[in-house]
Amino acid sequence: MMPSQKFEDTVRQELAATPLPATQPDESAQMARAVLATRARRRRRGVVAAAVTAVAVAAGGSAVIGTVNGSGAPAQVQTAAVTQWPARGPLSGDTGLAQRARQVWSQAAPDAVSSGLPAALLYAGATPAGSAVAETVVVLRGQDHDGGTRLAFLTGSDQQHLQVRAQLEVPDGQLGAPAYGFVGTQPRTGGTTAPVSLAVAITAPGVTSAWFTTSAVDAEMSDSVSRPADGLLTTALPPAAAAWNTRIATGGPKNPAFGTLTGTTVDPVTSPGVLTGGGARLQGSTGAARGDIVTTTAGFAGVVTAVSATGEAVVDADLAQLPVASGLRVVTAVTGHPVTLSATGGQATVTAGPEVLREGNRIVLTGFGISAGEVNLGTVHPGPGGTWLLQRTTRPADGPAALIHR
């Protein structure tokens, strides 16, 4: 476990070294419209219960960031269903703030929440003092028109200017998760200073330790900063962090329980699923289409090449299937240098400009709309004849995964 100062220095160096190309003026609006349209079409209440979270899978080389009440490694607790959670937070008694949040949610997503039942307040407060992003945070729980449970995470620069940052549908099989939250990837912008991704989660009553993990960094790190007792966990992550490469863990590090994370309303749409058949099929995910990317928290699992009449997606793990021509790019992590992949017979060769590659460099897939989020592909190592070979981060395996809709 690295000291806090070293952790901060490492993150600062990675953020400062991350180049972010300029975005086109209308890309943000286009992405937002596409996200809203796709989310309106899909429903996730039937997700296979085995998909404990959209991205909760074993991941090597991940970062551990943030704790709630940094109290060591407590035993696991039996958490109550989110439908039974009380209102918490220093502003939970502010009825005016709660009502404004309900109105904002109702106006932003009129088809998502039943008008017959007022949304319950789960949290109202602000990010802890000293946070990288100062925000008012309100978390609501509502019921959709089909009786399903939805959560809304609202943030704002102050109590008067709230916006819905993320919505999370909670299938019946996941009502007892120990935490729920979102990771907001930052849009790619011009300038020399890299932004950060904001991670926010609310933990179940009784959970005394929680932390975010992400594979969007090169080395394992830990931040031992304690958090307030009201269950809110917030932290700043590298800009490449996204819901699909980040987890919220609770309890003890030897046997953690994972919560559920989603992206924000302007992030690429993702949906949870379960890989079966040695990673060749994705079940439980809705709205899959040819060219969609399948990933675990650790990294790339494959590309959807076909979808059956029942909605089961056929997944090809061959890197040659990457739809780079449709906007995705393969680059070096942190520095963002473009590279070229040549996949033959299950082996991928990486080529780049002079003095670009070093042994162990992480290679990632990026270009998901305006998001800076990345999917790990692997690391490079010397091969015969001066070539560079890609060692894959993951191999096809059964288990929970996330589908990134293109």
Q: Which of 52-66, 192-206, 313-327, 371-385: highest mean pLDDT? A: 371-385
Strands (E), 238-395: 246-250, 257-258, 260-262, 270-276, 281-283, 293-295, 300-307, 313-316, 329-332, 340-344, 347-351, 362-366, 375-382, 388-392
Least confident of 42-51, 177-186, 232-241: 42-51
Q: Which residue has the higher pLDDT, 189 or 386?
A: 386
Least confident of 20-29, 41-50, 115-124, 263-272: 41-50
Burial class (CB in 10 A: 0-12, 13-18, 19+), 146: exposed
User: Which amino acid is present at 336?
Assistant: G
Decide if pLDDT at 382 tops 90. Answer: yes
Q: What pLDDT does residue 49 have?
A: 32
CB distance 59 to 246 below 8 Å: no
For the chain, what percent of residues have pLDDT higher than 70? 74
Per-residue confidence at 324, pLDDT binned at 50, 70, 90? low
Distance CA 282, CA 225 (A): 38
Per-residue confidence at 67, pLDDT binned at 50, 70, 90? low
Least confident of 131-140, 148-157, 346-355: 131-140
Per-residue confidence at 194, pLDDT binned at 50, 70, 90? low
Decide if pLDDT at 192 tops 60. Answer: no
Burial class (CB in 10 A: 0-12, 13-18, 19+), 81: middle
| Domain assignments of the chain as residue spans, ordered by start | 80-176, 273-404
The pTM of this model reads: 0.79
Tell me the sheet residues that pair with 250: 210, 257
Q: What pLDDT does residue 255 have?
A: 86
Distance CA 283, CA 274 (A): 5
CB distance 16 to 249 below 8 Å: no
Strands (E), 127-242: 136-143, 149-156, 162-170, 179-184, 197-203, 210-214, 232-237
Tokens of 129: 């003092």
Q: What pLDDT does residue 187 have?
A: 66
Give the side-chain half-sphere CA count within 13 A for 125: 19
Least confident of 42-51, 100-109, 151-160, 226-235: 42-51
CB distance 294 to 301 below 8 Å: yes
Q: Give, in order, the Cα–Cα distances in Å from 229 to each of 210, 247, 370.
A: 11, 20, 35
Least confident of 193-207, 233-247, 259-273: 193-207
pLDDT in tens, 41-53: 443 333 333 333 3
Q: What pLDDT does residue 26 have?
A: 44
DSSP 232-275: EEEEEE-TT--GGGEEEEES-TTS-EE-EEE--TTSPPEEEEEE
* Residue from 230, 27, 51 nearest 124 by CA: 230
- Name 32's Cβ contacts closer than 8 Å, sequence gap at least 6: 265, 266
Distance CA 225, CA 66 (A): 6
Q: Which residue has the higher pLDDT, 61 or 98?
A: 98
Per-residue confidence at 218, pLDDT binned at 50, 70, 90? confident
Q: What pLDDT does residue 334 have?
A: 87
Q: Which residue has the higher pLDDT, 353 or 15?
A: 353
User: Which amino acid is present at 80?
Assistant: A
pLDDT in tens, 333-342: 989 999 999 9
Distance CA 322, CA 312 (A): 20
Q: What pLDDT does residue 134 have?
A: 74
